[in-house]
């Protein structure tokens, strides 16, 4: 049985539209959009829910850790702290942490998530689907739409064997990985893709083999994600080992198609940026995490000018807020270029940036999300017209204010498939998810 939602304003790919009725079918998709002549509305301004295109949900348990100065601190020293959490977490604990991360995503304006899942094996080294199923269980509890991207991980650096603390991530062969993929595809209740971790963790020739094998399991239409050019050291070592920069190296070994998403691209060269745009790949930026880890700033202005498609992800999940991700994205470019309105158009900043990034997220996840239009899922973020940042504003000015002055507290209601999972700024299952997370976090910290 379908349902109807009515809004005073909705943000569509064509812009803001006033007084609209959304007809939602039994699958939670928008079947029609029509004018609404009544005065009884379900909300003020509905935006397409933002796809979270890159997440490591287990890292939500690391919040507050690793902030003490430890000499020449960097991504690489932070990574050692991450291994401490990854080493002992159980499937039951992962489900609790995932549910917390995914509930926070919904509260923060994300309605779907591509989970870059590399914590595969059990603490004792046993191989199975338990850890992946725990992520799916966390998504079910929270009510978020999930695309699971099992990660293929083999080496500890360019030409280096994996080391002991990476043992839970590693598959010995492509065949072992494809077996996991096949097991997860049965009974067909998960949306799946593939994720070779990075060029430092998977040899480029193997990525082509991996993609071909995945086609036999999943067919041709599935998302492919990979970390690329996140740190300068990675780029330097790639050049030393292969004589090419990361994006150029990928393009040499496989066809980069619009089904590929490159995560970060922080230190991509001007030539690589043109290549990414020409190949139609999606570049997934994670501005809060890239700032948190001190990675640097991708030339997003150059990428957009070349016609490149962008999406965002919460990555380490130390802070989960779609509005703040977009603000950091824009403000980072302002600091890089020393000018304002870097990603804005003549229509302002909020509307074009939200639409561009949410549409890019649809490409990155391979889901019909990120747009309010017939055929898309009714995944919606409804703003609170009484919030201090937005009060008294209308049309594009409200969306510009959201990105420059707002945050997740300006969100009143969130729908996934037309069903409210956040109402009045509260998650529908907060007490259960919050209590389980507190207990699990304490247990994890006690083992560090």
pTM for the model stands at: 0.97
Q: In this predicted model, what pLDDT tens digit does every residue of 181-222 receive, in sequence order?
A: 999 999 999 999 999 999 999 999 999 999 999 999 999 999
67 pLDDT above the threshold of 80: no
**Contact by Cβ (8 Å): 17, 9:** yes
Task: Report the half-sphere exposure of 61 (CA within 13 A, side-chain side).
Answer: 32
What tokens appear for 437 in the block? 């997370």
Strand partners, 382: 46, 413
Q: In this predicted model, what pLDDT tens digit does every residue of 304-356 receive, in sequence order?
A: 999 999 999 999 999 999 999 999 999 999 999 999 999 999 999 999 999 99
Strand partners, 147: 114, 191
Q: Could you say which DSSP state residue 410 is in?
A: G
Query: What's the rounded mean pLDDT across residues 116-121?
Result: 96
Provide the mean pLDDT of the chain: 95
Which of 66-75, 119-128, 151-160, 220-229 has the weakest average pLDDT? 66-75
What is the distance between the alpha carbons of residues 80 and 73, in angstroms, rounded to a whole number?
11
Phi, psi (rounded to 5 degrees) for 345 = -125, -170
Strand partners, 20: 7, 35
Beta-strand relationship, 380-383 and 43-48: antiparallel
Active site annotation includes 315: yes
Query: What's the rounded mean pLDDT across residues 372-401?
Result: 96
Closest CA to 288 of 329, 333, 232: 329
The full DSSP string for 14-82 is TEEEEEEEEEE-TTSBEEEEEE--SS--SEEEEEEPEEEEEE-GGGGGGTT-S-S--SS--HHHHHHHH
Query: What's the rounded mean pLDDT across residues 123-141?
Result: 96
Note the pLDDT of residue 71. Answer: 64
Give the CA diameter of the chain.
66
From the candidates 54, 264, 267, 427, which is the catalytic residue? 264
What is the distance between the alpha carbons of residues 159 and 173, in angstroms, rounded to a whole number?
16
428 pLDDT above the threshold of 90: yes
From the candidates 96, 315, 379, 400, which is the catalytic residue? 315
Residue whose pair of structure tokens reads 């561009």 in the numeric block: 356
User: Which residue ranges form the domains of the chain, and what is each CATH number?
Assistant: 3-48+371-430 (2.30.40.10), 50-365 (3.20.20.140)
């Amino acid at each position: 049985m379908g349902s109807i939602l009515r809004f005073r304003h909705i943000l569509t790919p064509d812009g803001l539209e006033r007084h609209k009725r959304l007809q939602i079918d039994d699958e939670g998709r928008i079947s029609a959009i029509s004018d609404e002549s009544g005065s009884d509305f379900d909300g003020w301004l509905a935006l397409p829910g933002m796809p979270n295109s890159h997440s490591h949900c287990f890292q939500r348990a690391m919040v507050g850790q690793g902030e003490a100065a430890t000499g020449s601190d960097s991504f690489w020293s932070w990574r050692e702290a991450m291994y401490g959490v990854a080493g002992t977490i159980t499937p039951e604990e992962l489900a609790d942490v995932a549910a917390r991360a995914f509930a926070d995503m919904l509260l923060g304006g994300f309605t779907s998530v591509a989970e870059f899942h590399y914590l595969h094996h059990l603490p004792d080294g046993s191989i199975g689907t338990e850890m992946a199923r725990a992520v799916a269980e966390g998504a079910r509890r929270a009510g978020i739409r999930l695309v699971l991207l099992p990660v293929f991980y083999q080496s500890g650096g360019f030409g280096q064997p994996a080391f002991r603390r990476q043992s839970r991530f590693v598959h010995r062969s492509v065949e072992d990985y494809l077996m996991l993929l096949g097991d997860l595809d049965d009974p067909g209740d998960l949306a799946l893709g593939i994720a070779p971790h990075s060029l430092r963790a998977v040899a480029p020739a193997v990525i082509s083999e991996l993609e071909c094998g995945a086609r036999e399991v999943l067919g041709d239409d599935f998302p492919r994600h990979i970390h690329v050019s996140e740190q300068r050291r990675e780029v330097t070592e790639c050049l030393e080992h292969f004589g090419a920069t990361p994006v150029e190296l990928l393009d040499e070994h496989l066809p980069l198609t619009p089904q590929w998403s490159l995560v970060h691209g922080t230190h991509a060269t001007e030539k690589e940026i043109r290549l990414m745009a020409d190949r139609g790949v999606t570049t997934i930026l994670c501005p809060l995490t890239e700032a948190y880890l001190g990675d640097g700033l991708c030339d997003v202005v150059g990428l957009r000018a070349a016609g490149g498609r962008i999406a965002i992800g919460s990555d380490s999940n130390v802070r989960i807020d779609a509005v703040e991700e977009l603000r950091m994205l824009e403000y980072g470019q302002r600091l890089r270029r020393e000018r304002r309105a870097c990603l804005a158009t003549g229509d302002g900043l909020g509307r074009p940036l939200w639409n561009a990034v949410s549409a890019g997220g649809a490409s990155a996840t391979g889901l019909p999300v990120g747009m309010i239009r017939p055929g898309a899922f009714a995944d919606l973020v409804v703003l609170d017209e009484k919030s201090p940042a937005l009060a008294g504003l209308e049309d594009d000015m409200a969306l510009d204010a959201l990105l420059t002055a707002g945050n997740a507290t300006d969100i009143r209601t969130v729908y996934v498939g037309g069903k409210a999972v956040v109402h009045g700024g509260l998650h529908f299952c907060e007490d259960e998810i919050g209590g389980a997370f507190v207990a699990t976090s304490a247990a994890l910290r006690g083992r560090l």
